[in-house]
Structure formats: structure tokens, C-alpha cells
Amino acid sequence: MKRLIFCAALFLSLLAGAQKPTYPVYKELKDKDLEGILSVQQDKKGLYGFANAKEKFVIKPKFDEAENFVVVSSKKEGTVFLAKVRSGEKWGVLKRNALYLFPPQFDAIDDFTTYGTAFVKLGVGYGMISSDGDLLLNSLSAYEKMKNSWTLYKIRERSNEGLYDVKKRAYIIPPTASSIQLLDHVAIYEKDGKTGIMDTEGNEVIPCNYDKVTLESPYIYTEKDGKYGVINEEGKIIYDCILPKRPDFIAREYEGMLLDGKPAILRRDGTLLTAREYDEQIFAANPAVYSADSLLPHFLKKHLYETLSPVEAKNLWFADHSFTPAPD
């Protein structure tokens, strides 16, 4: 009987010892102790710690929540291993040597970007931290990533907006702009009553000196000193601000208007033709397209009609009854 009790006690003792994780005495863990570290949950208290490949805790379970370590770019060290951890209601960032990069103090932490930055929630606002332990931005009211860009974010501070480059860790447009509109390939921003355009690399495509910029995809229409221009969504200038009115290249390929008092025809690819060039190039190449184009302004139709031969005039008349055909 005594032998049975002894065996049972020994078994319970061994079982208790097997369930108890072992903690190294290192104050600062070394790389050789960190192979295969994963985020794990301690069964008894429900706290999270970090164990190595041998299933031994190397960072004592003390977190209410913990995510796996990830490799993050660092300006100071090249790369670092960081993990987001939560204690109570606050999140922090833990280094793989068991020391804090940021003690738990944030309401939420985004994933780190390719360039070692992460947005954090701070009460009713936001901030940005770096993998080097710096608080880069504070007191932000909102942020938004620019489409088709790995580095640019629209930042809002109070009533003003700016454009921030997470790679350079600096503002491309200081937070003094009244508004910034993010498009697929460019950002339109307003400052001091003027408007400019910047591309996804942070390069100024158009200086901030336009009176007005309007987006009607796939075109950006500009206005300056009472003249109009056209830019595509990639930031390429199709027509600078030299036009007396805003063209409509969405509805039609050609737009006619007077330039310097002379009839001219604009193509949506940026080609500017005189009426005579339109006659010779467009109509000669494809009479069907030319005769069917009934969207040209009346004065241009009249000008073109007067330059056509009687046969050409008939072709134009059958497509558009605005004019009486010349006699044969």
C-alpha cells in the first residue's frame, strides 16, 4: 500500500513538473537562445509568452495577447525582430531580446511597413512609430495610404493635410495644405488658394499654381487665368492652360474651338490640328469617320464645308444635315 501511495505521489510530482514551463535567467536574451521563437499561450493563466523550438519559454508569459515576431527593416540595425504585445488594454512593441522597444501605451498598432514604420492609435488620434524606437508623428486626426504607392500617406493634422513619405520618414508636402485628393497615380493638393499635382514617388508633376483642378476620370482638367488645360491620371500634360474652354474628351475624340482667333481641332492624345490639317489628315485617311463626326462646333463645320469639294460636301451633308450641299 505504501509503495502504491509513493508511486502515485511520484507520478503527480512528475506531472506537475512537466506542466511548469522553464524560464531562463537571462535579463537580455542572446541570439543563440532565440531560434524558432513563437507566440504561445500559457494554459493555466491564459497569458502569452514566447517559447523556443524546444517548447521552453524564453520570455516569461505575462502578456494578455502577443503576436509572432516579424522581421522589420531598421535604419540603425538593418533588420530587427519585433512583436506586438498587449498588457491590459494597451499595446506595445517587444524586441526579441525580451526588452521593450515601446512599453504598452498605445490603443492599437498597425503592421509595420516595408520601411520600418507603423501607425498607432493614441486615444482619439493617431501617431507613427519607427523600428528604431522613435515616435515620428503625433496628434494626427486621420491618415490614408496613396494608391499605387508603397511610401506615401495622406496625413491630417487638425484642419490641414500633408503628404508623408514613410521611406524618407519626412513630409513631402507639409501639413499646411487645405486639402489633398488621392488618385491612382497622382495626388492633387490645395494650398494658399492654388492647386498642384504630385506623383506616387513624391515628385511635383505640376507646381502648385493652378486656380482650379477638376477630376473627371480618366482626365484632370486644370484652370488658370481663365484658360483651361488637360492632364491624364498619370500626370502627363495633354494640353497646358491655353484653351478658351474645357474640352470633353470623354464624349468624343475631337474637340473644336478657336485658338488665337483661328479654328483648331484638338485630339484627346494631345495632337493640335488646324482645320486644313484635319481635312488633309483625318478625312483623307478615313472619310467615314470624318463624315460621321457631327459633334464639331458649327463654325468649324462651316469652315470645313467651305474647303471641301462638291463630292466631299455631299458625304458631309448625308452625315449631318446642318448644311445645304454645294451643287454638283
Cell of residue 227, nine digits: 484658360
298 against 178, higher pLDDT = 178
pLDDT class of 206 with cuts at 50, 70, 90? confident
List the end-to-end C-alpha distance of the chain, in Å, as a whole number: 131
138: Cα separation from own chain's centroid: 20
293: Cα separation from own chain's centroid: 40
pLDDT class of 120 with cuts at 50, 70, 90? very high
| pLDDT value, residue 256 | 75
Cell of residue 31, nine digits: 541570439
Pairing status of strand 179-182 against strand 186-191: antiparallel
Domain edges within the chain: 33-109, 250-328
Helix (H) or strand (E) holding 317: helix 310-319
62 against 300, higher pLDDT = 62
Among 3-7, 19-23, 27-31, 222-226, the least confident range: 19-23
CA distance 78 to 75: 6
pLDDT over threshold 80, residue 36:
no
Among 16-25, 36-45, 223-232, the least confident range: 16-25
pLDDT over threshold 70, residue 28:
no
5 against 57, higher pLDDT = 57
Which tens digits make up the pLDDT trace of 273-319?
A: 765 666 556 555 555 544 434 445 555 555 555 555 555 554 544 34
pLDDT over threshold 60, residue 148:
yes
Residues contacting residue 236 through CB under 8 Å, at least 6 positions apart: none
Exposure string of 248-265, with b = 16+ CB inside 10 Å and e = fewer, is ebeeeebbbbeeeeebbb
Cell of residue 100, nine digits: 521593450
Residues contacting residue 275 through CB under 8 Å, at least 6 positions apart: 263, 264, 265, 300, 303, 304, 307
How much is the average pLDDT of 82-102? 95
**Of 35-39, 88-92, 182-186, 302-306, highest mean pLDDT:** 88-92
pLDDT over threshold 70, residue 236:
yes
Q: Which of 114, 191, 175, 184 is nearest to 146 (CA)?
A: 184
| pLDDT value, residue 110 | 97
Among 15-29, 95-109, 224-238, the least confident range: 15-29
CA distance 272 to 262: 12
| pLDDT value, residue 22 | 40
pLDDT over threshold 60, residue 136:
yes
User: DSSP readout, 102-123?
Assistant: EEEEESEEPPP-TTSEEEEEET
- Please state, rounded to an integer, the average pLDDT across all residues of the chain: 77
| pLDDT value, residue 187 | 83
| pLDDT value, residue 302 | 58
Exposure string of 74-95, with b = 16+ CB inside 10 Å and e = fewer, is beeeeebbbbbbbbeeebbbbb
266 against 108, higher pLDDT = 108
Among 20-24, 52-56, 226-230, 295-299, the least confident range: 20-24
The residues facing 143 across adjacent strands are 155
- What is the crossing angle of helices 310-319 and 298-307, to 10°? 150
Q: What percent of the chain has pLDDT over 90?
A: 34
| pLDDT value, residue 13 | 46
Residues contacting residue 200 through CB under 8 Å, at least 6 positions apart: 146, 147, 148, 149, 152, 185, 186
Q: What percent of the chain has pLDDT over 70?
A: 71
How much is the average pLDDT of 11-32? 43
264 against 278, higher pLDDT = 264
